[in-house]
Structure 1
Amino acid sequence: MKIKILLLLLFIVNLVKAQITEKITIPSGVVYLYADDKTNEKVKKSLTESLQNATNYDILGDNLMIGPTLWKQFKNIEILHSIPDNVTFHIDEMEVEGKVSRKLDDSKKIWNEFKKEISGNYQIRKANEDELKYYWSTISFDIEEPLFILQTENHRYILNFLKKNQKLLWLDEFPYKNSYNNPIDKGTYTTEGTIKTYKNGNEVYVTDKGNKETKLEKVIFLTGDSELKANSSIEDIKSVIDKTNKIFDNLFKDSKSEGKIMVQFELGVKKNDIQFAVKDDLDLEIMKEFEKRVNEEKYPHSKKDTIKFQLIYKVNAYNDNE
């Protein structure tokens, strides 16, 4: 009897082990459904084989969705022009274009072009928080594994498979940007993660042309999240933005000129440094007064280490569509 109980316990333990799956950090508000490791490893193996074999299309089915970031790159490839169906994604109150394939032959064309992008060493792994937040912003359904990131030296591709038949459902690229060429100090800023851009208080991954108007376009942080949290606060950053917005609106709301203004804040413990750059045909007399008032304003200081960020304003202009 004891032997039977022991064998039963061993069977249960082995069954539990077989169903264990690698856990990841899920962003707040994102619905993420895990698959077991056995399923994920099977799909990962099939993906690797398809990448390495020019005639292996086992991971493809009739339907394949191309997300907005990858389609922005692929839409100019002539062989893909014959694929009939476009799709519109609604991201951050914007409409951006994607593509859907409804035939296996069309899916093969897309996959062939995708494989041309994969050169050198690559890694197949699970998604991180930033990648999940971007993917979540593009879809209208729960995220369900198998979901992988195919990471090369300069790109991170998102591949989501159907669990029931393990065919590739979604193919996109995470808008990964880990460097920023600063036109003010001529420096290049890099990060292990991705340079983050905010609009209307929210992190944005995709930008469109927008409307021709006069307003704050975006905020770019040149200091990492951990350094920002350690040396400033949301209230202090908001104070800087609100005070500068008030000066900008007062001076430029009726301006007929067109252009962009970049204001770079470097908040220190004892001293704040503010630099300016302009683009296109701005009224330089108004700009001179803008600089004067901003420099006269009292802004909060950092707690210990310097933090740096930029406010990008547009004057009768469209968004920078990167």
Structure 2
Amino acid sequence: MIIETSGLTKRFGRVTAVRDVALQVPPGVRFGLLGPNGSGKTTLVRMLLGLVHATSGRIEVLGEPMPRRAASVLPRVGALVEGPAAWSHLSGRANLRLLDAAGRGGRLRDRRRRVDDALERVGLGGVDRRPVRAYSLGMRQRLGIAAALLREPELLLLDEPTNGLDPRGIQEMRALLTSLNEAGTTVVLSSHLLTEVEALCTHVGVMDAGRLALTSQLAALRTPTGRVRVRTPEPDAVVGLLNGQVVGRSGDTVTVRGVEPAALNARLVAGGVRVTGLTEERRTLEQVVLELTGSGTDRMDRATPGPAGSRRPEEPR
């Protein structure tokens, strides 16, 4: 396994941020760690990197115990956690050159090549001498990911990698991470953006209140809902033919329940209805996560007043 933990727990005083997590990430996957704010995602990632020491439990990264073997593990890992760090008075290129010199070293020509390659990959190849403090949030994010790529890592650990990026930037980052993964890099990212994880990842883990509620291949989670969407230029004919089985209609699309797609298609064709598309509806990743983390939220609602003389739930006895 690229990452393996057992019984992993982290307490901050009375607060248990991560509770008894057993995580396995096989090599060559794109793994998305999902969960509401405060669910323990970032604390877990920081423990994997040795930035926070576990209260109890075991961690192995790239087959080595962490943090005890951090000196041999971290040079093989690229990471971006809780936003990119940089010397704000220097340019992005100068930042990367300093990081590369401190990390891999080697000949000046090789260091410059690595820095230029990393900047090109993240869309900053034309960056000028402006200091990082003048960068937009999206440019800072790209620079942080470029820094994570300098070591040509076997494992990428990224916390909210698309934060601050515009829609085009998100697409570019998705394509970059996919290409790196196809070239052999295992990608692990934590995010609250369900649509991005669904579009990018092959495997997913769901955190809730410090616990790892689920790990699975993404395809296995998206089970059928028992509904089929029918696209047709004759939606009225579908409604008339199927009547009580129709549960929704929007434009040229009719949603039908309780029937197999092949049997539905045969019935519609036999009834003389033209069908231009037929899709089995499956659960979205959002539905899966909401089912597992129903209590997780960052809302702070006011308590609902009760009858006269009653005590609000948050008031002490």
Both proteins in one fold, TM over 0.5? no
TM range (shorter): under 0.3
Q: Pick 1 or 2: higher relative contact order, CA cutoff 8 A, min separation 6.
A: 2
What's the TM-score once normalised by structure 2's chain length?
Answer: 0.22
What's the TM-score once normalised by structure 1's chain length?
Answer: 0.22
